[in-house]
Structure formats: structure tokens, C-alpha cells
């Protein structure tokens, strides 16, 4: 459901607020997406080790009572607005762009960062799958099941099956992914009062269904299975949106019933950062804008051993590949790290130093 239209912030005031805050974060950036107790454990100077501060790139995801550094919430320049992907997915590109800009200029939970996240880009933003059909052919009394992507060639001594090119699904201009890309193109042409474009003020959370589909699929568009057939969706429609965004936050965990989450397996930690970075770069995504988001875990990621407690293990897996280490260097995100916030903070200090 769309929010009722509200008066836009006057341009001069918006420029003043943006100029006074690190609205378009440069360098390392971390989004803390958690309850107040965990956020305070991450940012309180009284905690063990160096706190996660604004100077170290920290922002808090709204809505979140209690702010990020000031329990009274007087830290509006470091809080980020949020839109649900479900709120905008049915809009036209122009309406999407307007709604995103409105949330940047006049956020529902007031802040002055000039940033907004879209939570989250998942299966509804892919291009769909190719429908494969099968037929049964008979050659010299033998019945052969033939995929619609292959061709049966009858020879003098029998037959052979020629594998045809793997078809790609049609990218509908009316799909949510394609419309979001057009919306981001529109926003890229709208200058923000503090510099750059409105598109650069948008950060996208990437659902695990998106990243693992890219990482585990085969072929140029990562939609093929081990048999060479197109079993997976493609993401060609939405990739231009990622290329224009200020940040792309890959969620390194899976969700399950009741709102719980569990970290990706050790294999996924090895594969997802590398393959997602490579595919994103082909679509024009700046590798410096890719981030990993870590979560609380009851146990170490499946298949991992000798890497410390569950939170320590995630940090070590993040740094274990060149692509993961690069994404980590851009600044990690913290999603509901809960009781493991102190460990997340200690790992941040270990990796990035204590200041």
C-alpha cells in the first residue's frame, strides 16, 4: 500500500541537512540492522575494545528506537530510511522513482542521512525460468525422451542427440526487476542537493535466493543445472538497478519459518562472494559497493570447522577468499547479531584495527 503523499522537504533545508551529514558514505560503511541492545553493544564506548563509530563508517537501519550513538536518538545523520520491496514492486517505474526519492527527502522515520535501503531484492525480481518440455520419439523400436532444447538426429547406424543452445527467459519490461532498473535510471538523472544522484543514495539488500541462484547456477547467466538445461531463473532485468545503487548488501544467511535465520554453509561462503562479484561486475556493478551482511548463529556454518565460535567463523569465512575479503573491506553489515554483538565488534576491531 502506498503512503499518502506528503509535502517535500524544501530544497535548501534538504541541502543543508545533507551537507552536515555523511549522506553518501565514502569508503568503508557498515549498516547495523538490529535491536537497540545489540546496537548499543556495538557502539557504546564503555564496551570492550574500540566502539563502532561514525568515523568507522557506522550507520543504523531505521526504524530503530534509541538511535545509534545517542540513546535519545539525536544522531539523525547516521540513520538510514527503509522501504520494503513489496511496497514498490507493483508501481510503475516513475512511481517507484518518486516513492524512493520521497523516502530519501522526507523519511517516514525522520533522519538526515539522505540514504534509503530497499529490503529486500529476492525472487519476485528475477526474470522467471524457461519452461522445458519433453517429447518421446521412437527410433528403431527404441523410445527416447527428448528435451525441447535438444534435437534428435537419426543416423545410418542409430541416432544421436544434439544439445541446442540453452534458451533464456524473456525479460518482460513489466516485471518488477525491469521496472526497478528503469526507476533507478530515472533516479540517476536526478541530482541530489548534496551532490551525486538520487540513485547513489539507494542501497539494496540482496536476498539469499538471488545470490545463491547466481552462485550455484552454471552458464553465462548462471541459470543452467549440471545437465546443461535451464533450471534456474535469470536476473538480467534487475542487474542494471544494482549497477546504479550506492551499495549492494549480500545477505549471507538463509531465513526459515518463524523469522529465524541461519548462516550460509562453508561452501556458500566460498562460492557466493566470488561468483556474485564476477557476475555483478559484468553488469556494471562497482566491486567497491558490494558488502557482506552477517547474522547471529547458533552453530558454525555447515561444513566449517576450526574457525572459532559461530560469529568468529563467519568473519573468518568472509576473509577466506579474495572476493570475500574485498567485500569485507568495503564494510560488513550486521543483521540481528543479538547476543553475539560483542563478538561482531571484537572481530571488526581485529580486522580493521582498534580505531
Q: What is the pLDDT of residue 355?
A: 60
Compare 165 and 279 and report the one with higher pLDDT.
Answer: 279
Does the pLDDT value for residue 156 go beyond 90?
A: no
Grid coordinates representing 119?
Answer: 529490503
Domains of the chain by start residue, with CATH: 11-129+169-352 (3.20.20), 131-165 (no CATH)
pLDDT in tens, 226-280: 888 888 999 999 999 999 999 999 999 998 877 788 999 999 999 999 999 999 9
Average pLDDT of 215-223? 93
Does the pLDDT value for residue 194 go beyond 50?
A: yes
pLDDT in tens, 66-111: 889 887 778 999 999 999 999 999 999 999 999 999 999 999 999 9
This prediction's pTM: 0.86
Grid coordinates representing 31?
Answer: 549498516
pLDDT in tens, 134-146: 888 888 888 988 8
The sign of the CA dihedral 69, 71, 73, 79 is positive
Q: Which residue, 338, 320, 318, 336, is CA-closest to 328?
A: 318
State how far the Cα of 194 lies from the Cα of 210, in Å rounded to an integer: 32
Amino acid at each position: 500500500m502506498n503512503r499518502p503523499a506528503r509535502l517535500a522537504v524544501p530544497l535548501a533545508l534538504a541541502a543543508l541537512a545533507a551537507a552536515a551529514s555523511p549522506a553518501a558514505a565514502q569508503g568503508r560503511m557498515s549498516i547495523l540492522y538490529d535491536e537497540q541492545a545489540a546496537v548499543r553493544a556495538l557502539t557504546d564506548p564503555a564496551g570492550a575494545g574500540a566502539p563502532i563509530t561514525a568515523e568507522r563508517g557506522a550507520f543504523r537501519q531505521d526504524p530503530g528506537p534509541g538511535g545509534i550513538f545517542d540513546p535519545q536518538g539525536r544522531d539523525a545523520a547516521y540513520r538510514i530510511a527503509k522501504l520494503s520491496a513489496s511496497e514498490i514492486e507493483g508501481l510503475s517505474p516513475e512511481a517507484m522513482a518518486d516513492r524512493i526519492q520521497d523516502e530519501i527527502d522526507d523519511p517516514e522515520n525522520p533522519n538526515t542521512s539522505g540514504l534509503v535501503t530497499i529490503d529486500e531484492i529476492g525472487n519476485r525480481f528475477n526474470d522467471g525460468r524457461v519452461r522445458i518440455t519433453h517429447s518421446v520419439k521412437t527410433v528403431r523400436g527404441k523410445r527416447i525422451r527428448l528435451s525441447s532444447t535438444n534435437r534428435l538426429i537419426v543416423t545410418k547406424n542409430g541416432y544421436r542427440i544434439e544439445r541446442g543452445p540453452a534458451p533464456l527467459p524473456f525479460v518482460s519490461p513489466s516485471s518488477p526487476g525491469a521496472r526497478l532498473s528503469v526507476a533507478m535510471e530515472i533516479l540517476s538523472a536526478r541530482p541530489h542537493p548534496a551532490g551525486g544522484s538520487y540513485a547513489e543514495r539507494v542501497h539494496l539488500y540482496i536476498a539469499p535466493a538471488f545470490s545463491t541462484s547466481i552462485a550455484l547456477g552454471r552458464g553465462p547467466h548462471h541459470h543452467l543445472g549440471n545437465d546443461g538445461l535451464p533450471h534456474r531463473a535469470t536476473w538480467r532485468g534487475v542487474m542494471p538497478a544494482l549497477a546504479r545503487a550506492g551499495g549492494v548488501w549480500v545477505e549471507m544467511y538463509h531465513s526459515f519459518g518463524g523469522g529465524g535465520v541461519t548462516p550460509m554453509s562453508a561452501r556458500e561462503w566460498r562460492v557466493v562472494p566470488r561468483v556474485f562479484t564476477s557476475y555483478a561486475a559484468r553488469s556494471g556493478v562497482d566491486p567497491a559497493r558490494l558488502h557482506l551482511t552477517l547474522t547471529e548463529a547458533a552453530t558454525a556454518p555447515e561444513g566449517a570447522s576450526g574457525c572459532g565460535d559461530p560469529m568468529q567463523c563467519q568473519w573468518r569465512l568472509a576473509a577466506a577468499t579474495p572476493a570475500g575479503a574485498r567485500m569485507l573491506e568495503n564494510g560488513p553489515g550486521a543483521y540481528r547479531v543479538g547476543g553475539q554483538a560483542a563478538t561482531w565488534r571484537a572481530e571488526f576491531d581485529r580486522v580493521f584495527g582498534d580505531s
